[in-house]
Amino acid sequence: MGQSTAANDALAQAFVQFSLDCGVLKFGEFKTKAGRMSPYFFNAGLFDDGAKLGQLANFYAQRLLKSGIEFDMIFGPAYKGIPLGAAVSMELARLGKNVPFAYNRKEAKDHGEGGSLVGAPLKGRVLIVDDVMSAGTAARESIALIQAAGATPHAVAIALDRQEMATEKQADGSTKDVPYSAVQYVREQVGLQVCAIAELNDLLAYLTAHAGGDMGEHLTRTQAYRDRYGVT
């Protein structure tokens, strides 16, 4: 399945259930950064205690080890990527793959060791760990930072691939849908491998398997959103 998940993949289905149980994945009406009204919302900030974060890290680690992606170190972009990258590096070490970890500050420090980078020196093939990829902006910033340090941005690991069209800002300040997702852009245009624990197709598979009651309505609305904004 490359660096994407297969719909109804057991690990992805377990992750969808876990995200629902934690209240991280919710259904309703939510406005996205792109201004779309989405029938679901994924807020990784609600993996908010030690047990949840530890289990999340295990999902990332399992997906990474299954993917076959080779990397020499982990980078966690500020802010959400910092605890995610740290937790994933700890879980990988527990599973026998111990690699260096670094993260960045949003603002460079002008005292002490200075600079915007903290942790291990950036070198070799770097894996970026983040929660989701909406526009790919954060990924591009991380890529530039890693390259400036003389290392190689190699892959990105995210929790959920929304599999929807990205947007581009126009000269007049408006935004326009483009026929590819942020993940596809990073994978095909930037040349990085992308590894997601789950994707929207996995959520649809979960809703299909649990289509009684409210889940049936969530399935209808989520499928309609996929039909309108989705990418293949």
pLDDT at 108 over 80: no
Q: Is residue 172 part of a domain?
A: yes
Q: Note down the domain range covering 86.
A: 10-229
pLDDT at 148 over 90: yes
Residues annotated catalytic, as ranges? 109, 111
Q: Is residue 183 part of a domain?
A: yes
When divided into structural domains, the chain yields a total of 1
Token pair in block for residue 32:
């996205």
Mean of all residue pLDDT scores within the chain:
91
> What are the contacts of 117-120 at 24+ separation with CB within 8 A?
117/145, 117/149, 120/73
Q: What is the pTM of this model?
A: 0.91
Model confidence over 175-209: pLDDT tens digits? Answer: 889 999 999 999 998 999 999 999 999 999 999 99
pLDDT at 8 over 70: no
The answer for residues whose C-beta is within 8 angstroms of residue 116's C-beta and 6 or more apart is: 104, 105, 106, 107, 108, 109, 145
Q: Is residue 5 part of a domain?
A: no
Query: Which CATH number is 93's domain given?
Result: 3.40.50.2020
